[in-house]
Amino acid sequence: MATIGFIGLGNMGGPMAANLVKAGHTVYGLDLSDAARAAFADAGGNPVEGIAEAVSQSDVVISMLPAGAHVRKVYTGEDGILENARPGTLLIDSSTIDVESARAVASAAEAADMVMVDAPVSGGVGGATAGTLTFMVGGTDAGFAAARPYLEVMGKTIVHAGGAGNGQAAKICNNMILGISMIAVSEAFVLAERLGLDHQKLFDISSTASGQCWSLTTYCPVPGPVPTSPANRDYQPGFAAAMMLKDLKLAQEAASTSGASTPLGAEAAALYNLFCNSGEAGTDFSGIVKFLRGKASA
Ligand code: NAD
């Protein structure tokens, strides 16, 4: 069993770290939030208050932070992970961040004699809790092989996407599909309401027809058809609209620097921007259906 430093015990990191504890690893967990550290202690983990305490004795460091700036600061900032971890430590960043930051931090880690992989996830809080996440991993073959046993504790599907940063590339492509498909499914429910077609009927038909997709069958944006979807708890996240907007912006930045044409991705980013600016940044991203319904009745 390994000693693991886990940085970022939020909606996703909390349950991921708890699964590592359950598997028998010794886990030191760090978060800025007292509540997150207390919840981690309740799950059997060892909460700590500084990076040195979390990583200096660890064989493996895993992070689950909001964005690229947090990851750069926590790894390469003053008194950060690279200054405090031992050479040879395996570093796994599972946050969703920009490809450029992922590659910059990985090369700083290499210069400090540490192996780093980017390993962002798909599967949401439900997948984090159940240990069924999908991991998209960027890094060397050796880094992937070293990370795999730990990722298998937290996930079900582990895919090596290529060199450093390629896990993040896969993640932003996937989430661009997700943002666009959630808007598509939401628009269909709003149209169905206008046409007098019952939510459940549309669900029963489209979930077994060519409109079938994850946004419909696992994360349905209207209450009823999928009891576990956030629509049934007044759109409490889950996956906050602000996080979806962040990922759609990352995709647009990447499209612009690489010259890819992504017009629906651009429209999805614009709609989520309007939704977030209407005071809904903390609402689950499937709540976009309320916004589209509002536009429909305007
Ligand atoms: P979150 O805001 O719930 O958790 C992030 C945690 O990091 C917070 O608890 C915060 O206090 C902590 N943190 C921030 N800066 C820190 C620092 N310097 N030191 C220690 N802790 C610090 O976010 P989340 O929903 O858990 O998402 C985390 C990442 O996972 C994001 O990049 C997100 O895009 C990605 N993601 C989220 C989901 C989801 O469904 N929520 C799904 C897939 C991927």
- Give the number of other CB atoms < 10 A from CB of residue 53: 16
Instruction: State in Å: Cα 206 to ligand 1 middle.
Output: 33
For the stretch 188-200, pLDDT in tens is 999 999 999 999 9
Instruction: State in Å: Cα 171 to ligand 1 middle.
Output: 15
Nearest to 23 by CA among 38, 42, 45, 7: 45
At residue 297, the pLDDT reads 56
Question: Taking 70 as the threshold, does the pLDDT of residue 184 lie above it?
Answer: yes
At residue 238, the pLDDT reads 85
Among 9, 11, 174, name the best residue to mutate to test ligand 1's pocket (greatest count of ligand atoms within 8 A of Cβ): 11
pLDDT above 90 coverage of the chain, percent? 96
Annotated catalytic residues are 171
Q: What is the mean pLDDT of residues 238-251?
A: 94
Domain 169-297 in CATH 3.40.50.300 = no
CB of 78 closer than 8 Å to CB of 47: no
For the stretch 100-154, pLDDT in tens is 999 999 999 999 999 999 999 998 888 999 999 999 999 999 999 999 999 999 9
- Give the number of other CB atoms < 10 A from CB of residue 216: 24
Q: Closest ligand 1 atom to the C-alpha of 97?
A: 32
For residues 92 and 215, give the distance between their C-alpha atoms in angstroms, rounded to a whole number: 28
For residues 183 and 245, give the distance between their C-alpha atoms in angstroms, rounded to a whole number: 13
Label residue 296 by pLDDT band (50, 70, 90). low
Domain boundaries, given as residue ranges, for the chain: 3-162, 169-297
CATH of 3-162, one of 2.40.33.20, 3.20.20.140, 3.40.50.620, 3.40.50.720: 3.40.50.720
Interface predicted TM-score of the whole assembly (ipTM), two decimals: 0.99
CB of 276 closer than 8 Å to CB of 290: no
Instruction: State in Å: Cα 257 to ligand 1 middle.
Output: 26
